[in-house]
Amino acid sequence: MSLLEIQNLVVEFQTASGPFRAVDGVSLKVDEGEVLAIVGESGSGKSVSMLAAMGLLPWTAKVTADKLLFNGRDLQAMSDRDRRKIIGKEISMIFQEPVASLNPCFTVGYQIEEVLRVHTDLDRKARWDRAIELFQLVGIPNPEERLGHYPHQMSGGQCQRVMIATALACNPKLLIADEPTTALDVTIQKQILDLLMKLQAEHGMGLIMITHDMGVVAETADRVIVQYKGRKIEEADVLSLFESPKSVYTKALLSALPENAVGGRLPTITEKLTDQQIFEGAVR
């Protein structure tokens, strides 16, 4: 049984110019102990599909799916109350925009303790110790002091690490990490990726890694899904994807690495490929 199974997920937003389909029939599975990377162009529905699966989209979104199962349990049929018990504890998410996801009115220590208070039965002292331990794990120096800071007193990358610590607080079974290292320099990125991979291996945590960084994919993923305008374009194990990408889109994506720039210009994909070429070249 898969940890998370999504079949034919469709998400539509009501907008002033009519309905807009942000996710158009995406299916995916993640097993225990597996790392699935989702890559794809900005706006291709990566974040929306995961937020939809967790029931975190605003009411303007219409979400349908043939299957939406966590550990065999139907997330769609579940009451809000039951879903809230799972989300934040068994499934947790590192949101894409860390600074916006933290509450500016509370210290970061309070915010992480609050998650522990709601989802565990640790007492106050134990929560505090756990918070310190988590800050150490994500490489925030002087945790005792930092826990007393407000988000605006921390740098962008420090806020991102607070988000990561919060998401890991309850040892989730499934972690959805939405661009978790965008604000981090490569040395700290490495530390964070190593940490995620370690937790993943030790606790059998399933990990969905949304990223546009092919280096991150190469260093973490078992399997990769490539998405474009709400649709899945290619799915492959990580080695095959890099060694022999099948769809035209994935090929173009890999050649857009800045290392491959010619004469000061970087290759872009959409300048060269039409939507039709991309969709027709899809390999699923």
Partner 1 sequence: MTPVLEARNLKRDYHIPGSLLKKGKTVHAVKGVSFKVEQGKTLSIVGESGCGKSTLARMVTMIDPVTSGEMLIDGQKVDIAAEPLSSDMRSKVQIVFQNPYGSLNPRKKIGDILTEPLIINTKIPAAERRDRAMAMLKKVGLEEKHYSRYPHMFSGGQRQRVAIARALMLNPRLLVLDEPVSALDLSVQAQVLNLLADLQEEFHLTYVFISHDLSVVRHISDDVMVMYFGEAVEYGSRDQVFNDPQHSYTKTLFAATPRVDVEAIKARLERRKRA
Ligand X SMILES: Nc1ncnc2c1ncn2[C@@H]1O[C@H](COP(=O)(O)OP(=O)(O)OP(=O)(O)O)[C@@H](O)[C@H]1O
| Residue span binding Mg ion (CB under 5 A) among the ranges 28-36, 44-52, 194-202, 243-251 | 44-52
Q: Does 156 bind Mg ion (CB under 5 A)?
A: yes
- For partner 1, the binding residue among 77, 118, 126, 266 (CB under 8 A) is 266
Instruction: Name the residue among 43, 165, 185, 173 with its Cα closest to residue 102.
Output: 165
Measured distance CA(178)–CA(56) in Å, rounded = 14
Measured distance CA(156)–CA(268) in Å, rounded = 28
Q: Does 213 bind partner 1 (CB under 8 A)?
A: yes
41 vs 113 by CB, closer to Mg ion: 41
- For partner 1, the binding residue among 219, 251, 279, 283 (CB under 8 A) is 219
Measured distance CA(65)–CA(193) in Å, rounded = 31
Q: How many other CB atoms are found less than 10 A from the CB of residue 203?
A: 13
- Contacts of residue 102, defined as CB under 8 A and 6 or more positions apart, other chains included, come to 108, 111, 151, 159, 162, 163
Residues in region 108-167 near ligand X by CB under 6 A: 152-158
Q: Does 48 bind ligand X (CB under 6 A)?
A: yes
Q: How many other CB atoms are found less than 10 A from the CB of residue 215?
A: 13
Size of the site for partner 1 (CB under 8 A): 67
92 vs 200 by CB, closer to partner 1: 200
Q: Does 19 bind partner 1 (CB under 8 A)?
A: no
Q: Does 49 bind Mg ion (CB under 5 A)?
A: no
- For partner 1, the binding residue among 126, 133, 257, 280 (CB under 8 A) is 257
Minimum CB distance to Mg ion, residue 22 (Å): 11
Minimum CB distance to partner 1, residue 73 (Å): 29
Q: Does 225 bind partner 1 (CB under 8 A)?
A: no
Q: Does 43 bind Mg ion (CB under 5 A)?
A: no
15 vs 79 by CB, closer to partner 1: 15
Q: Does 13 bind ligand X (CB under 6 A)?
A: yes
Site string for partner 1, 81-120 (x = CB under 8 A): ---------------xxxxx--------------------
The site for partner 1 (CB under 8 A) is made up of: 13, 15-17, 39-44, 47-48, 58, 96-100, 145, 148-149, 153-158, 160-161, 179, 182-190, 201, 212-219, 238-239, 242-243, 252-254, 256-259, 261, 264-270
The site for ligand X (CB under 6 A) is made up of: 13, 15, 20, 22, 40, 42-48, 58, 60, 96, 152-158, 183, 212
The site for Mg ion (CB under 5 A) is made up of: 47, 96, 155-156
